[in-house]
Amino acid sequence: MPLKTIGKFSLSYLQVLDDKGKLDENLEPKLSNTELNKLYRAMYLARQLDSRMLKLQRQGRLGTIPVCTGQEACVCGATFALRDSDWFVGSYRELGGRLMRGEPLINPMIYYNGYEEGSFNPVNDRTLPINIILGSQLPHAVGAAYGSRLKGEKENASLVFFGDGSTSEGDFHEAINFAAVWKLPVVFFCQNNQWAISTPRANQTHSESIAQKAISYGIDGIQIDGNDVLAVYKATKDALDRGRAGEGPTLIEAVTYRMGVHTTADDPTRYRKNAEVEEWSKKDPIKRFENYLIEKKAWSARKQKTMEDEIKAEIEQTVKDFENMTDFKPDSPFDYLFETETDDIKALRAEFLNEIGKDADNA
Amino acid sequence: MPKMNMIQAINLALHEEMEKDETVLVMGQDVGVNGGVFRATEGLSVKFGKERAIDTPLAESGIIGSAIGMAIAGLKPVAEIQFSGFSYLTLGQLEGNAARMRTRSRGQFTCPLVMRMPYGGGVRALEHHSESKETYWAHTAGLKVVIPSSPRNARALLTAAIRDPDPVIFMEPKHSYRAFKEEVPEKKETMEIGKAEIVREGSDLTLVSWGAMFHLTKKVVDQIQSERKVSIELIDLLTISPMDSATINASVRKTGRCVIVQEAQKTLGPASEIIARINDEVLMYLEAPVKRVSGYDVVMPYFGREKMYLPTMERIRRAIEETLEF
């Protein structure tokens, strides 16, 4: 027969908690109450810090910031499935995940106040810094996983975050193809938040889903409810386990929503309807998780109050510490160009120091 | 015509050229419905439709690669790259194809496209949003590189760039987007690409700059000339490539002294080429070494330290005084 079917494909969608937080017991991941509380706290902290930083930005105390509110289930749930020895490769909308990797609360404030001192993780050396060039971090996750495997760290995997917009970049396709060919333990985690600044998901790709792109590269793909932290955790954990077992990479499309602005330089009222935002606010990932925890008797109003007070105090103390920071070495950009300073750079540093010494502006 | 800022002037040029020539179109991320993140393409999608104000998927190489195909097919695409820091993915297409399509096809195919993008520092932006890397493009034979400095010349030069039969990299100093307004003539106006402008004539020193640095430089000149009797010739380079060394060298021959102010890093920046050409043709007329005020050869610092790494009025002033007193 000259014409025959040579492939049939299917794709799954995973939701463990529905919009109200009602559980599908068959799918519930095995997590202790202590673990669940820890995950809930991470999401709550991310939300609070995001809101506090937005306030600081509106007061002119921070520069442009991307807003992460609404995507806490994605970043925290996925990061929760990771081991410290795994690679965390992010873009710029993973605040909660970065904090879970041990990044001090003050770092994002320093970073968004325009200083490199806040742009790295001093605690975990498998966490790559913020990457603004969209999609360019995906191949890094692939290379890091390859590096770990070649060095005999066979259990180590990579988790890489990106948005729906980045799936149009060549790097997205190249990275998945490499990881598939090399059968590497990489979890490609797409936070499909529906909007790439003003471009809606439907104009970004003609595919019905982003998850189905996995099929064309011969890897596992799944679409999940990105506002359901248990679905996020479960899908990521399963994908990591498969990767560690030598079964290759997975593409996860987490369907979520960018509740706020793209960055504080953006005005979404120009291109999207408020009704859409309101619709999504009913699916809030934190509220949904809280309902589940209360139902499970793993959380209480008393615990909530204690946590809120603690986090508020922690954030306010951080803001104070941040505002007291003044000591930024002017010539530190010269310190991190090369391991060994070249003669050229040595001379230029001297010229720089001489010039700013003379400038009254900078005194 | 009322006074307008640079963004409005760019928007005007796009409106005018799209009206005049139906093969002209704009394309890029967020340029349609949103009117561009800086609003340079505001109103175009309403007036000319979505087919001529194209919101593309998010892929810089795809934007420029398809613009090359459009240009080959007889359109005149004006592609916007949202920030110059995201433009390096287009270098493969521009250096590998746009710049050499005319040569490769012995003139059968050409690429009359424009790549517009905001560049430069001073606006407290995040990483990749503050660099001045005009050299990357100027170092590619077959590309023209234009940098306006004011609303009026932005409108005139963008018009010329769109009409140009070859690929033009149009770098817009974002610090100047809304910094000041200027009278822009009612009548359509173009300027010749590859021509520097002597903005003020003088006899004691030649001062060359471009982009956002031009204004800083002009302010310093105003200051110095209000304090002492000195005559400075002020040149706005406007096109980085092809470089108008005839205008600069004629000026240096007259003044014997020259200072160049560039935002780009020092090593291998446009100033290096200006000095080399002075050296080639008018070295014997120099009465002092040519000085450059520039950025430094470091990864552009985040905005907390940015100001220290950009040329300041005081640095420009010191360079002028040292050159005058040499």
Mean pLDDT of A115-133: 97
Q: Can you tell me the distance from the alpha carbon of B180 to that of A231, in angstroms, rounded to the nearest whole number?
A: 52
Q: Note whether B145 and B81 are same-domain residues.
A: yes
Give a yes or no: residue B85 inside a domain: yes
Give a yes or no: residue A227 inside a domain: yes
Q: Can you tell me the distance from the alpha carbon of A170 to that of A159, in angstroms, rounded to the nearest whole number?
A: 19
Q: Do A265 and B37 touch (CB under 8 A)?
A: yes
Q: Can you tell me the distance from the alpha carbon of A101 to that of A263, in angstroms, rounded to the nearest whole number?
A: 23
Q: Which domain holds residue A284?
A: 12-328
Give a yes or no: residue B188 inside a domain: no
Q: CB distance from A353 to chain B under 8 Å?
A: no
Of A199, A333, A358, the CB nearest to B314: A358
Round the average pLDDT of chain A to a whole number and report it: 96
Give me the catalytic one of A126, A262, A288, A292.
A262
Copy the structure tokens of residue A36.
């669940």
Q: Note down pLDDT in tens along chain B; length 326 residues.
A: 789 999 999 999 999 999 999 999 999 999 999 999 999 999 999 999 999 999 999 999 999 999 999 999 999 999 999 999 999 999 999 999 999 999 999 999 999 999 999 999 999 999 999 999 999 999 999 999 999 999 999 999 999 999 999 999 999 999 999 999 999 999 999 999 999 999 999 999 999 999 999 999 999 999 999 999 999 999 999 999 999 999 999 999 999 999 999 999 999 999 999 999 999 999 999 999 999 999 999 999 999 999 999 999 999 999 999 999 99
Q: Which residue of B has its CA nearest to A359?
A: B314
* Nearest alpha-carbon partner for B291 in B262, B254, B248, B253: B262
Of A199, A333, A358, the CB nearest to B30: A199
Q: Can you tell me the distance from the alpha carbon of A83 to that of B147, in angstroms, rounded to the nearest whole number?
A: 49
Of B85, B125, B305, the CB nearest to A333: B305
Q: Note whether B136 and B248 are same-domain residues.
A: no
Give a yes or no: residue B250 inside a domain: yes
- Mind spelling out the 3-state secondary structure of chain A? CCCCCCCCCCCEEECCECCCCCECHHHCCCCCHHHHHHHHHHHHHHHHHHHHHHHHHHCCCCCCCECCCCCHHHHHHHHHCCCCCCEEECCCCCHHHHHHCCCCCHHHHHHCCCCHHHCCCCCCCCECCCCCCCCCCHHHHHHHHHHHHHCCCCCCCEEEEEECHHHHCHHHHHHHHHHHHCCCCEEEEEEECCEECCEEHHHHCCCCCCCCHHHHCCCEEEEEECCCHHHHHHHHHHHHHHHHCCCCCEEEEEECCCCCCCECCCCHHHCCCHHHHHHHHCCCHHHHHHHHHHHCCCCCHHHHHHHHHHHHHHHHHHHHHHHCCCCCCCCHHHHCCCCCCCHHHHHHHHHHHHHHHHCHHHC
What's the pLDDT score for residue A154? 85
Confidence of residue A361 (pLDDT cuts 50, 70, 90): low
Q: Do A134 and B57 touch (CB under 8 A)?
A: no
Predicted confidence (pLDDT) per residue in A260-318, tens digit:
999 999 999 999 999 999 999 999 999 999 999 999 999 999 999 999 999 999 999 99
A258 tagged catalytic: yes
Give a yes or no: residue B272 inside a domain: yes
Q: Note whether A307 and A359 are same-domain residues.
A: no
Of B29, B125, B305, the CB nearest to A197: B29
* Nearest alpha-carbon partner for B190 in B160, B166, B145, B163: B160
Q: Note whether A337 and A266 are same-domain residues.
A: no
According to DSSP, the β-strands at B144-146 and B239-241 are antiparallel
What's the structural domain count of chain A? Answer: 2
Q: Do B308 and A265 touch (CB under 8 A)?
A: no
Q: Which of residues 37-66 of A touch B (CB under 8 A)?
A: 63-64
Closest CA of chain B from A246, distance in Å: 32
Q: Can you tell me the distance from the alpha carbon of A187 to that of A79, in angstroms, rounded to the nearest whole number?
A: 11
Q: Which domain holds residue B16?
A: 3-183
Q: Do B302 and A114 touch (CB under 8 A)?
A: yes
How many beta-carbon contacts under 8 Å exist across A and B?
120
Give a yes or no: residue A2 inside a domain: no
Q: Note whether B225 and B319 are same-domain residues.
A: yes
Q: Which of residues 63-122 of A touch B (CB under 8 A)?
A: 63-64, 111-116, 119
CB A285 within 8 A of CB A70: yes
Q: Note whether B299 and B213 are same-domain residues.
A: yes
Q: Note whether B33 and B153 are same-domain residues.
A: yes
User: Which among B120, B148, B183 is the end of a domain?
Assistant: B183
What ipTM was predicted for this assembly?
Answer: 0.94
